[in-house]
Amino acid sequence: MKRALPILAVLVVLLAAIAIANPFFLEPAGFLAFLKRAAPLVILAAGQYFVVVSGEFDLSVGSLVTAEVVIAARLIDGDESATWPVLALLIVAGLLVGLVNGVLTTKLRVPSFIVTLGMLLVLSGAVFLWTGGAPRGALSEGFRTFGRGGLGTLPWSVPILLVAGAAAIWLMRADFGRTLKATGDNERAAALSGVRVDRVKIFAFMLSGLSAAVAAILLGGFAGVSAQVGQGLEFSAITAVVLGGVVLGGGRGSVLAAMAGAVTLEALFTLLNLYGVSGALESTVQGVIIIAAVAAGAIRLPRKPTPRRGDAHAAS
């Protein structure tokens, strides 16, 4: 929790700044609209957190989101009755991609950076090979409700987000969470004390795949079908996780802070929009803030745990 404090402070400042520029933000409808926009990234960040805290990367989530949305559009093709089977299929597909990522990483001992980079290429290639270059078909209204509609003023995204967040926090408090963190901190020590390291990591990748599937369902409804829907989401998710104080290389940080990092990132985009920073310069500000936030975190941290600067540079 201590590690989550700085990011929560930054988040409060950003939210206050947004509220000053746009008082509508303080009303329930305004805030809920913000949460609805943030939900996919927050869920992705939670999934990415499991992978990062176990000491790995998942670069495939962006193209997985695109692939899932394109697959859904082609399979549903406007047919309302196909909604539920396709939703189930998307969840299974997400878990399956995570399973493949995890198995390749742990059993073949290929660095996850490479496995998920390969998966990124395979997924984006395969899905457009199948649809012939551009997304085809359309999503049904029932499918789009999840990302777009809601109960009165409460968008469906918000309860979905809360359930996902609660599940993630519960998972990290269960045995799984402790073994996952132990694996990320020192894989060999964890293995020697009886953790089934491979199984834990594979499960982490499957959770990341699952989160990508849920994010794809929300984004498909919210943003519609396009070939760019998931573009760059892998970097955004990793950025969000790192903003939350989670250490690349594994073993440190909380899932709550990772999700707070995602909300902060989204708040930052909203704020930049409000203050009329040109769309292009947005990425410059984003770059500066990521570096500054991570640097501040690294410097504030006392060096008392094991000196692990060596790990800080290992990409796998």
- Which residues sit at the interface with another protein, rule CB under 8 A? 57, 59, 104, 108-111, 113-115, 117-122, 124-126, 128-129, 133, 235, 238-239, 242, 247-249, 278-288, 290-291, 294-295, 298-299, 307, 309-310, 312-316
Structure tokens at 304: 């008392």
Looking at beta carbons only, is 15 or 127 nearer to another protein?
127
Minimum CB–partner distance for residue 32 and another protein (Å): 29
For residue 158, give the nearest of 140, 170, 146 by alpha carbon: 146
List, in sequence order, the alpha helices (H) in the chain: 4-21, 28-53, 61-76, 83-107, 112-131, 141-148, 157-173, 175-185, 187-192, 197-223, 233-243, 255-274, 279-300, 309-313
How many residues make up the chain in this entry?
316
Q: What are phi and psi of 155, to 5 degrees?
A: -70, 145
Looking at beta carbons only, is 164 or 257 nearer to another protein?
257
In the chain the first and final C-alpha atoms are separated, in Å, by 26
Minimum CB–partner distance for residue 265 and another protein (Å): 12
Minimum CB–partner distance for residue 165 and another protein (Å): 24
Looking at beta carbons only, is 129 or 151 nearer to another protein?
129
CA distance 80 to 66: 21
Looking at beta carbons only, is 159 or 232 nearer to another protein?
232
CA distance 7 to 71: 36
CA distance 224 to 162: 23
Structural contact between residues 146 and 217, judged by C-beta atoms closer than 8 angstroms: yes
Name every residue whose Cβ is closer than 8 Å to that of residue 16 and which is 6 or more positions away in sequence: none
Minimum CB–partner distance for residue 161 and another protein (Å): 25
Looking at beta carbons only, is 157 or 239 nearer to another protein?
239
Looking at beta carbons only, is 111 or 137 nearer to another protein?
111
- Tell me the residue type at 285: V
Minimum CB–partner distance for residue 183 and another protein (Å): 17
CA distance 66 to 84: 19
Minimum CB–partner distance for residue 303 and another protein (Å): 10
Minimum CB–partner distance for residue 221 and another protein (Å): 26
Looking at beta carbons only, is 119 or 158 nearer to another protein?
119
Scan for tokens 């809360």, then name that residue: 162
